Amino acid sequence: MTYAPPLDEQKFLLRHIVGIDALAAHERFAEATPDLVDAIVDGAGAFAGGTFAPLNRLGDTEGAKWSGAGVTLPAGFRDAYQAYVAGGWNTLSAPAEFGGQGLPLSLATVLMEDLGSANMGFSLVMMLSPGAIEALLHHGSPELQQAWLPKLVSGEWTGTMNLTEPQAGSDVGALKTRADPVGDGSYWIKGQKIFITFGDHDLADNIVHLVLARVPGAPQGTRGISLFLVPKILADGTRNDLRCVSIEHKLGIHAAPTCVMSYGDEDRCVGWLIGDENKGMAAMFTMMNNARLNVGLQGVSIAERASQLAVAYARERVQGAREGRPARIIEHPDVRRMLLRMKALTQAARALTYYAAGRIDRGNLGDAEAKARADLLTPLVKAYGTDVGVEVTSLAVQVHGGMGYVEETGAAQHYRDARISPIYEGTNGIQAADLVGRKLAMDGGGVLRRLLAEMREDSGAEPAIVALIDACGEVAEQLLTADGDDRLAASYPFLTMLATAVAGWLMIRQASSLQADPVPEEFAAMKRGAMRFYLDQIVPEAIGRKASAMAGAAPLYAVSEEAFAA
């Protein structure tokens, strides 16, 4: 089936969860008028559905190809990317001084959702450039910004993040790539990076790599990391000494080349420092936080696509009987349970992601509390959104039955594509560790306490969500004084509890907003049904995680390593 963007849902969330009208009241976002917002939402959906979605199956079956000359994408991909650039889609939320439109991030989030639903693997090239742009905006020198940002903003050039090395994995402090100063402000870069998404391709004329490396004499660990801008093509048009030496053969996202990148093998690979020496971690987290929000959104995107496919199949597939007549499977209770769970999870994760984007927009307007809340929510968005993506795509396979296990239906591709999202840009376990190790302690726990208080005030008529909010508060207070292992042992169940509570609160807000918003009746009915299912069936599951979150680390170490291998 073709992809149909959820336009009513997206506009509803922009109005009632993001608060796009309040953002437009500020001079910075004054261009985000209702007419423009509707035009962008409609246009983004039409572009993604008409240009990217038809390439989704080809991207999976043919995929990116490597040769000694570089990486190529299947026929049609370069044209589609160039249409994306020509349409100005890459510029939505980028700063006007570098060619952007300066619109809210929450509005650009709609576009990224649609691109991910239409063609998840292809959309990764659009997902990475904003992180490079943010790093240069916050940490780059004026000279680097003027030289590289305009074409990154336009999309004429793409950006990457080069963090991981074979011996380091998620431990970036163990990296060995070197950066030797030349004396003219540039550095010679030498080393190898792995798992570099779209590290090479034929979609654009240049690729701007942001590479973590060490300068001579740098301290060990993360204190000795610096960040460098290393372009594929130098300003004079010559080729820099960097290349993709291979691409990975992956479970899914075959349209996204995952590259092994080598720097300085044959000649001098030139790069420029972003920020100060040994201060690369701050710039890295600027990139990563942007990417983490977008990866959480990928979970929403693929869940939406899988849900549409499952609903269409369930409405057509005849199997079994009801009341003495042949029945389509959507009439059977267990199939309805799966479909409603898929819809509820997708809507909840989308609301959480859009809400976080709206908090970022307010933070950019100077609202310190909104910025802190966005920081708190970022690991929730990434982990919960991607967990939802995996669960919903798995349910879509189940709805299809045996046909779901057959590649031609498309359900299997969505499941395979979704499975990477809890892993990259920091595994979901790392997101949970970030939540309990850094975000929970913000303002001595005050940022979370204020969020929980607001949620509790709004949710008084729903006892299940209030019970979950209270459980989150109880676990949080224990974790604020727990030792490291006990905090980490609790981190994942606590993250799931908290994300479910915030998403449930946002589902209540949406249902309340229906009274004042004349939306189509079918839309309103599904919104109310999804909220009821979420509060009655998914929220109680999250309450059940409290015991795990309070158990501490001792049970995890009661089994020896040898016993694990038995």
- Report the catalytic residues: 425
Beta bridge partners of 188: 180, 270
Closest CA to 230 of 288, 159, 181: 159
Instruction: Provide the CB-side half-sphere exposure for 305 (13 A, CA).
Output: 34
Cα 46 from Cα 265, distance rounded (Å): 44
Cα 499 from Cα 69, distance rounded (Å): 45
Q: Does residue 229 sit in helix, strand or coil?
A: strand
Between strands 206-213 and 157-162, the pairing is: parallel
Closest CA to 243 of 231, 229, 261: 261
Between strands 269-274 and 186-197, the pairing is: antiparallel
Cα 304 from Cα 391, distance rounded (Å): 12
Sequence-distant contacts of 443-446: CB under 8 A, at least 24 apart: 443/372, 444/480, 445/476, 445/477, 445/480
Within its chain, how far is the Cα of 535 from the centroid?
25
Strand locations in 248-380 (E): 258-263, 269-274, 318-322, 325-328
Q: Does residue 120 sit in helix, strand or coil?
A: helix
Q: Residue 198: phi, psi to the nearest 5?
A: 50, 40
Cα 38 from Cα 32, distance rounded (Å): 10
